[in-house]
Chain A
């Protein structure tokens, strides 16, 4: 994205509008004589009331405000400006006499940003005015950039979500139909035909996973990860996930064994989201364990929490890549054992779901081989 950030040089500050508020005409002229040759546009007001009236008409970039004024004083005028225009109010610099030094504190408390002591020294006044104008300009640009970035990010998430939704249905059908062809449901295929159909099936399967994960990330990033907790039977939930994952696992002659522990675990959680986490851990375990492995899933219950542990027989996680594990697109160098694909999003999504449940998810290498993923959730 190309966004021209205006360079902040003294020249870009010329033609900025400055409102001078002082009841003494001579003082106003002195200030104007300093500012106008530098290219600033000066407007003068002889009272606080007049300043308040002029302010919305000229929308100054900076206000030089005398403290002692005939009607409302400078502090009150400054307070009024902030009351009316909030954080967008132009910076106010008070003009004070040396004898009013105690007032400086009061002035800053009323919303002033700085002060200039009388008699005004031209170079000091210009330096301070430029500094505050620059800060204001930078802040406005930052705000604009932040606004643009968050809008662009929201657009990206909306686009991702939309694209993913519209891609998912046809992809699921392509995968499913290829599967029927492959399995000979509609008649036998030649070896070459079978090979092509398997390729179509594999590619659509990978794409579907990717699209699903992108959709999850888009949803989470858009702040739409909503947990809908309900009282759930954890044993049943994990059992169901294990049963379904075993269908995939059996294609690699891998077995997922579930031991539920002694007592039933009921707790309040979002069953769909936790199921998604368990599915993900199971499919990873199958993906990274050699064919013919056994994967163990165990439930553990403690006083105020329960744990789901998934132990695989893969190569474990290299210590140097551990930090990437739960990050978006945090793929490690460990390769799937059956040519499966990884988006690097699955575990990041798991962590976000578990975080939203106020639980933890960790991974430890096992002493001999493989590693264990441990989800701990409060009951």
Chain B
């Protein structure tokens, strides 16, 4: 069944939002929302309660970890997938520890991103990578 839910893309870079916006169209016909900073993201999350959030780790002002924490505070069941560029393992682990469901490197080929995202929107239990000890 094509996905028709809401996806919130949070990234300060327009080209990344544009790219991911096209990637998520592969899921079906999602409603795509875009935010360029934490404040905007939190306002949108509260107003729209999206089904899936893609959140850049590396953001100006509020960073990804802070935005993640704030979203989870609003909605403990939020499905947030972190977007990373640098292999900043520690930050990713911190995000997974406080409740991100997974992470995707932004330079992953689009087919692979789509495969990952499909897993997150399916009805199965969410496959969160267990954070390393």
Contact = CB atoms under 8 A, between A and B. Distances in A.
A212 B87 CA distance: 11
A244 B25 contact: no
A244 to B, nearest CB: 5
Interface string A45-79: 00000000000000000000000000000000000
Interface in B6-40: 13, 15-16, 18-19, 22-23, 25
A168 B107 contact: yes
Contacts of A230: 132-133
A5 B109 CA distance: 51
B61 interface: no
B15 A272 contact: no
A228 B89 contact: yes
A272 B85 contact: no
Contact of A208 (B16, B107, B112, B115): B107
A92 to B, nearest CB: 51
Interface residues of A, number: 24
Interface in B92-115: 106-107, 109-112, 115
B85 A247 contact: no
A247 B16 contact: no
Chain B at the A interface: SS class:
helix
Contacts, number: 58
A208 B110 CA distance: 14
Nearest to B105: A172
Specify the main secondary structure of chain A where it touches its partner: helix
A170 B15 contact: yes
A247 B110 CA distance: 11
A169 B87 contact: no
B19 A177 contact: yes
B106 A177 contact: no
A247 B18 contact: no
Contacts of A213: none
A20 to B, nearest CB: 59
Contacts of B110: 176, 179-180
Given A169-B13, A177-B15, A185-B22, A244 B112 contact: yes
A81 interface: no
Contacts of A185: 22, 25
B41 to A, nearest CB: 19
A8 to B, nearest CB: 47
A101 interface: no
Interface in A213-233: 226, 228, 230
9 contacts: A170-B13, A172-B85, A172-B106, A173-B106, A174-B15, A185-B22, A230-B132, A230-B133, A247-B111
